[in-house]
Structure formats: structure tokens, C-alpha cells
Amino acid sequence: MEQDWKDELDDLLKESGSRSRDTIPVLHKVQERFGHVPPEALPTIARRLHVSESELYGVLSFYKAFSLRPKDAHTISVCLGTACHVRGGEQIIQELENALGISAGKSTADGLFTLETVNCLGCCAIGPVMVVDGVTQARITPQAARELLARIRAGEKKS
């Protein structure tokens, strides 16, 4: 299992650039492939890009798109752009925080949900919006947010 994972990383790196300028594209690829950037992979990636591990860690932790920790089964990103804010985006995040019992940026204890905020998805005319597992949901109300959670939970129970 462990070896598979390493082979996959090697294959992925083989196809990528190897200059320090390729750092962000490579991190995107790793993040996309594994759902996070596994901390164990940092030495290999750093060697490939000819940067130090500390530099790589610096870049990785600077950008929000990369995470060292695997994400949970379902990721909910609530948009808090200005247009969503003036249309009640904050109520949506509060509703979800209350319903999930966690604050934004955290994951539920059962490993089912990660709740995030994003500073504008550029869908300002159909706000408030949120992205659930990659799908943008338009014109969300606190009630719609609650119902969506219920639907996901019900789906999880079934499977």
C-alpha cells in the first residue's frame, strides 16, 4: 500500500517540471491526486524541484489551496464575498456552524464534514452561494443549508 502511494507520487513528479518555478503547479497536482499534500511526500517533492524542504513548506503553508491534512468526506465552502455578505452569507455560515457544532475551518468529529469559507467565488449575482463537494449551489437560505446537510447525512447512512 505504502509503496503504491510512493510510486504514484514518483509517476506524477516524473511528468512535472523540476524547476523551483514549477512548485505551485506541482503542489496543485499532488493536492488534486491525494486530496492533500502528504507530509511524508515533502522531501521527495523538494528534491525534485531543487528547493529546500523548508522553502517548500513555506510555500505550501502560505496558500490556502494546499493542505497537509486529508480533507473529510464532504467539504462545504461558504462564500463570504461582499455580495454574498450583504445578502446574508454570514447567516449561512452561522447556520452550518450551529448545525455541525464546529466553527469554520474545522472538521466534524465523525470525519464527515469539513466546513470552510471562501472570499468570493465570483457568482455574486446568484448569492449567497456555497460549494458542496465541488458543486456550486446558488441562492442558499439557512433552511436550504440545513436540508442539504440532512440529505448528505441520509445518503451516508444508506451507503
Partner 1 sequence: MDETVLIRRTIVVTAGTCGRASGALEIRDALRAEIDRLGAGDRVGLLVTGCHGFCEMEPSVVVQPEGIFYGKLKPADAAAIVKQTALAGKVVEKLACKIPTTGRVVARLEQIPFFKKQMRVLLENNLRVDPEKIEDYIRIGGYRALTKGLFDMTSEGVIEEVRRAGLRGRGGAGFPTAVKWGLCRKAAGHPKYIICNADEGDPGAYMDRSLLEGNPHAVIEGMILGAYAMGANEGFIYVRGEYPLAVENVGRAIEQARSCGLLGPAILGSEFHFDLQLIQGAGAFVSGEETALMASIEGRKAFPRQRPPYPAESGLWGKPTNINNVETWANVPLILDRGSAWYASIGTEKSKGTKIFSLVGRVKNTGLVEVPMGVTLREIIEDIGGGVPEGRTLKAVQTGGPSGGCLPAASVDLALDYETLAKAGSIMGSGGMIVLDDRTCMVDLARYYLHFLEEESCGKCAPCRVGTRLMSELLGRMTAGTADEADLARLESLAQTVKTASLCGLGQTAANPILSTLTHFRSEYEAHIREKRCPAGVCRELASSPDQPARPIGRKALKNKERGRS
5 binds partner 1 (CB under 8 A): no
109 binds partner 1 (CB under 8 A): no
The site map against partner 1 for 140-159 (x = CB under 8 A) is --------------------
Q: How far is CA 26 from CA 44, 55, 62, in A?
A: 12, 14, 15
21 binds partner 1 (CB under 8 A): yes
59 binds partner 1 (CB under 8 A): yes
Count residues binding partner 1 (CB under 8 A): 46
128 binds partner 1 (CB under 8 A): no
Output the smallest distance, CB 2 to partner 1, in A: 28
14 binds partner 1 (CB under 8 A): no
Alpha carbons within 13 A on the beta-carbon side of 16: 26
* Burial class of residue 42, CB neighbours in 10 A (0-12, 13-18, 19+): middle
Alpha carbons within 13 A on the beta-carbon side of 54: 0
Q: Which of 22, 36, 106, 142 touches partner 1 (CB under 8 A)?
A: 22
Grid cell, residue 148, equals: 442539504
112 binds partner 1 (CB under 8 A): no
129 binds partner 1 (CB under 8 A): yes
62 binds partner 1 (CB under 8 A): yes
- Residue numbers at the binding site for partner 1 (CB under 8 A): 19-25, 27-28, 49, 51, 55, 58-59, 62-66, 80-83, 85-87, 94, 97-98, 101, 118-127, 129, 134-138
